[in-house]
Structure 1
Amino acid sequence: MNEEKKVSIVGVPMDLGQIRRGVDMGPSALRYAGLIEEIKSLGFDVQDYGDIHIHRSTTGTDQEQNLKNLQEVIKTSEELCLELDEIISKGGFPLVLGGDHSISIGSIAGISKHYKELGVIWYDAHADLNTAETSPSGNIHGMPLATNIGLGHPYLLNIGGYSPKIKPENIVIVGARSIDEGEKALISEMGIKVFTMHEIDRKGMTAVMEETIAYLKERTDGVHLSLDLDAIDPVDAPGVGTPVLGGVTYRESHLAMEMLAEAEIITSAEFVEINPILDNKNQTADVATELVSSLLGKKLI
């Protein structure tokens, strides 16, 4: 990334896409971990736009068609979409701080309209390809990737006024190790490229990222990184709502971010699902801050 470029930060303290409280404090945890100061130390002009207002129901939790908090997620997604649309129009690199992973419904809606062929790297233990029909839980944070390829509730699909936001062939999922049956069928049907932990173990992260970069470079004009901290093993990132053992290591994740920085393909990013209540002395936010630094080009030497 060009060091003259602006990094524009938006926090989305959303915890309505799932049921475990605490992930709404993720943006605060990242700022407390010194994220903004770290990015500035790399020579970037940083503008923090603060946090998107989260609309909360005064009548309690609604569940509509197996979709928890649907109306609240829609309102927040629309506001985030507008905010990122404006940021990109001003020439900033959008860096979104979650919040649960449902925020990517709004973030990708605001970003994708600026690209003809937006690519997405979904760095996550989960595929997030459920719909109301296939979701075991009704939690919308397990549905954003499906929504972005045009599957799901019409109101979610139409955030930003268009659908789909991304093509299945422009997606690479990295680090998956917990995939529901309906998601497996969709991955096969749509031909979505997935590097599970099995592939990472067999090939090594270097080969996985080389393949990911080569695959997206030839077919996209911008790439959004959506990084869920639960992709990383709970030993290194304990503060997440849905931890899954056997994840990507801290060092492998650093390598992945460094390779993406060298390839200069990432045009926007979001870091999601940090839950300080479940964390150990803000360890997970510290890890995320270091990964952001590597993505933005920080080197050891």
Structure 2
Amino acid sequence: MNRRLSIIGMPMDLGQMRRGVDMGPSAIRYAGIIESLKPLFDEIHDLGDIAIGRPEVIVDKKSNLRNLDLVAEKNAVLAEKVDEIIQSGAFPLILGGDHSIAIGTLAGVAKHYQNLGVIWYDAHGDLNTAETSPSGNIHGMPLAVSLGIGHPLLTGIGGYSPKVKPENVVIIGARSLDEGERILIKEKGIKVFTMHEIDRLGMSRVMEETIAYLKDKTDGVHLSLDLDGIDPSECPGVGTPVIGGISYRESHLAMEMLEESNLITSAEFVEVNPILDERNKTASIAVELMGSLFGEKLL
């Protein structure tokens, strides 16, 4: 079977307040993504970046959400591009940009599956709404939006909602949750492996349980990997670092186990901010993790 990969850059920083994350796709390319992944695929197509522009920050008066209209508009464009990639038979890999881009990614992916699974590899739950968010930053809301919870301009992207069912979501690496997110997790019964579970069970067991949980009830699984899921001592180039995170080696093991499971049908790597980084270290780790996800082996 011909293995094809299509890459889209989504250089968007509108979902939060720290500039620099718009340069994430460029940093990942500079770290050698094409060269690293080329041996693992028959074809790789870099489709370039979706144009975002340099707009002024606009806070929606009714919802208090930052850049609501433009975030919705650009995510709709991303959804169309992702849809086209899947229709072409290629694997879609999206490079962020802040985590609000997952709204568009999932809108493009989920229409191709009856029961899409989502692995949310992140220090945060990203389950806030306009009512629960302390900041109004949409990068803290994409998982809630994809569950059909949030502003209709966001939940309605792609013309359908929800994109994913709560019982098909697994959050891995959580260690910073707002009160509203905790309530929503309990209400919806979302499976979460916090750092407590990772420390106590070990990453191998966490991934075994994640794979078993999703394997029989999903017909595709999307990986949404936020680099702040990894400890900031190893990935300093992120906008919202939280100490006590997943290690570099644990993350490689997680990616290797996902590759062996053959579950992952689409992926995005987000929140790389080279302005906050050390010699492009975070982007380089993102590329190395992609290698493990796509089957790179030492021997």
Fold-level similarity (TM above 0.5): yes
Q: SS of the counterpart of 2:48?
A: strand
| Counterpart-to-counterpart distance in 2, 1:23 and 1:55 | 14
Point out where structure 2 has 5 or more consecutive residues left out of the alignment.
none
Match of 2:192?
Answer: 194
| Counterpart-to-counterpart distance in 2, 1:164 and 1:41 | 37
Match of 2:246?
Answer: 248
2:280 to 265, 282, 285: 282
Deviates more, 1:117-126 or 1:66-75: 66-75
| Counterpart-to-counterpart distance in 2, 1:220 and 1:40 | 29
- The equivalences for 1:100-119 within 5 A come to 100-119=98-117
By how many angstroms is 1:55 displaced?
4.7
Match of 1:80?
Answer: 78
1:141-179 superposed Cα distances (whole Å, 9 cap, x missing partner)? 000000000000011011000000000000000000000
| Counterpart-to-counterpart distance in 1, 2:134 and 2:265 | 33
Match of 1:233?
Answer: 231
Match of 2:213?
Answer: 215
| Counterpart-to-counterpart distance in 2, 1:177 and 1:94 | 28
- The equivalences for 1:145-184 within 5 A come to 145-184=143-182
| Counterpart-to-counterpart distance in 2, 1:45 and 1:246 | 38
By how many angstroms is 1:56 displaced?
4.4
1:133 aligns with 2:131: yes
| Counterpart-to-counterpart distance in 1, 2:42 and 2:238 | 29
Point out where structure 1 has 5 or more consecutive residues left out of the alignment.
none
Matched residue count: 297
2:57 to 45, 55, 61: 61
Letter of the 1:15 counterpart: D
Match of 2:15?
Answer: 17
Q: SS of the counterpart of 2:112?
A: coil
TM-score (norm 2): 0.98
TM-score (norm 1): 0.98
Question: Which runs of at least 4 in structure 1 moved beyond 3 Å after TM superposition?
Answer: none
1:53-84 superposed Cα distances (whole Å, 9 cap, x missing partner)? 11543xx3111112100011011101000000
Letter of the 1:23 counterpart: V
